[in-house]
Amino acid sequence: EINREFQLCATYPPVVAVPARISDTTLTYAARYRSKARLPVLSYLHVNGVSMTRSSQPMVGLKQARSVQDEKLVEAIVATSEPTGMVPRFRNERNNIIIDARPTTNAVVNHAIGAGSENMDHYRQCRKVYLGIDNIHVMRDALNRLADAAVDAADVSATASDLGHAEPAGMMARIQSSRSSWLNHLQNILVGVKTIVEAIDAGHHVLVHCSDGWDRTAQLTSLAQLCLDPYYRTIDGFAVLVEKEWVSFGHQFTLRNGHLGHPDRFTVIRAGRKRVPEHSEETEDIDCEDVETESAEDGAQSGSSIFGRFATRAFRGVQSRISSAIQTASDNLDDIDYADPFFSEYPELQPDYVRPVDPSTGASAQQKRGFRLGRTKHDRETSPVFQQFLDCVYQLW
């Protein structure tokens, strides 16, 4: 209960499971060694007494920093199923696994920013396995290419059907030619899940982490539990799994799915009411009349008060001009390729709706694009992490 008020880790649930022999002080120091204070905690306990734990990457850095407390925590986790608690004397006895979901190159590069991966000389009971699963940016680009290929295939098929021509290459052929690598990414994830499941079934502990431990880690731990425990393959169990591994452990649904950052989607324009720009001549005339009236009524006031009112009005005018310029620049962003998903389903409801061009005339590629993640340059953190998990569930099914 050390995290009851989220003092230890803000993105962990208030109750976490760790070995009983580890003190709160050890946990505090171990959390400082992990990115975002996401220290190794229990994710799943199998029927054979073997555990699957999850964490974030260690803060190793270029100086190869280490944490004795973190090493003791991992050692205590491994010793929970050891009858003697003895440390293996030989390297080939290191059957417990530390899963690093990232490509080896990415893990090594992270040393330059003070992070990295475990030095296995200090984790004597474990061996390390890199899974080579790419980051959120690669996954986002892969899904965008996949969506483009699917839309193009559908449009070409519809055009050929309307013209009475033979149907061209199928959907899968176009997806493969698009080089989206979406299926290859799914394969990498499922191969990692296979490694975890086989290790736990053989009686070996597994610690899973990626960079921050809330994207690829959640995918691996939840998919592994689907394979290991039949309860999570039920409707109620699947809901519990998503709440436990994704919601409670801090997956950023809002950020990854791009729910925020688009206030223009919620702007209401009322017909019949034309808003006068604040910097127009009419507004300036009104402001001048107000100033003259106030000056006549408050002639007894000091010059400093009059200057203050003029300064306030001048500041508001500059502020309104800056806001108008920012809004104009925002409106001019080239977002044609990144259509709103709502308007993709109901295009006739958008303000500037134009009837689609006849396919026989050859509509431009920009007119045919559908929903894409990363709608603007400000959406670099969106990624189909949870959608990819659902696709893996479908492949397992």
d(CA 84, CA 186): 40
For 167-203, b/e burial (b = at least 16 CB within 10 A) is eeeeeeebbeebebbbeebbebbbebbebbbebbeee
Tokens of 99: 């899963």
List strands edge to edge, sheet with 206-209: 41-45, 51-54, 206-209, 96-100, 126-130
* Secondary structure class of 209 (helix, strand, coil): strand
DSSP reduced 3-state for 224:
helix
Count of beta carbons in the 10 Å neighbourhood of residue 25: 10
Ramachandran category for residue 114: left, alpha or beta (phi over 0 → left; psi -120 to 50 → alpha):
left
Looking up tokens 């691996």 gives: 220
Beta-carbon neighbour count of residue 213 at 10 Å? Answer: 27
Are 260 and 376 in contact by the 8 Å Cβ rule? The answer is no
- 126 classed as catalytic: no
Catalytic residue (choose from 9, 126, 210, 392): 210
Task: Just list the catalytic residues.
Answer: 210
